């Protein structure tokens, strides 16, 4: 392995380790948004819907956006701790935004309830 590819591998790995904590909030927000459909739309028995689907979609959007904003804020705060990494935060913010857009798009697609 030459020196350039070794440096790239080390900086890429260290970047994922450093900014990986920001993805926790993104994952939490998207996971809560996904499960909101199950908890609020299916009820405990599958027949008892607590809220209607448009209301649940708004809750899903809010939870996903909060996850995206929390992840971006966390990535920004991580970058302020290391002045050399301020420019390296941009790819992670783009990645967070891409995952957030995909999640918001997925919540706009109708989902059929599972048969239990």
Note down the domain range covering 97.
3-107
Q: Is residue 73 part of a domain?
A: yes
Q: Is residue 113 part of a domain?
A: no
Q: Is residue 81 part of a domain?
A: yes
Q: Is residue 115 part of a domain?
A: no
Q: Which pLDDT belongs to residue 19?
A: 86
For residues 97 and 68, is the Cβ–Cβ distance under 8 A?
Answer: yes
Q: 45: helix, coil or strand? A: coil
Q: Which pLDDT belongs to residue 56?
A: 87
Q: Which pLDDT belongs to residue 54?
A: 86
Which tokens is 9 given? 């591998």
For residues 78 and 18, is the Cβ–Cβ distance under 8 A?
Answer: yes
Q: Is residue 80 part of a domain?
A: yes
Q: Which pLDDT belongs to residue 68?
A: 97
Q: Which pLDDT belongs to residue 18?
A: 82
Q: Is residue 116 part of a domain?
A: no
Q: Considering its fold, how many domains does the chain have in total? A: 1
Mean pLDDT, 10 residues at a time, the chain of 116 residues: 52 79 93 88 69 88 96 92 74 93 88 58
Q: Model-level pTM?
A: 0.78
């Amino acid at each position: 392995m030459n020196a350039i590819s070794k440096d790239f591998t080390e900086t890429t790995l260290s970047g994922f380790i450093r900014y990986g904590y920001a993805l926790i909030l993104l994952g939490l927000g998207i996971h809560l948004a996904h499960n909101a459909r199950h908890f609020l739309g299916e009820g405990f028995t599958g027949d008892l819907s607590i809220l209607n689907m448009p209301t649940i979609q708004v809750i899903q959007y809010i939870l996903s956006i909060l996850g995206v904003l929390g992840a971006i804020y966390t990535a920004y705060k991580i970058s302020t701790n290391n002045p050399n990494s301020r420019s390296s935060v941009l790819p992670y913010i783009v990645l967070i935004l891409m995952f957030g857009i995909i999640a918001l798009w997925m919540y706009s697609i109708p989902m059929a309830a599972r048969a239990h």
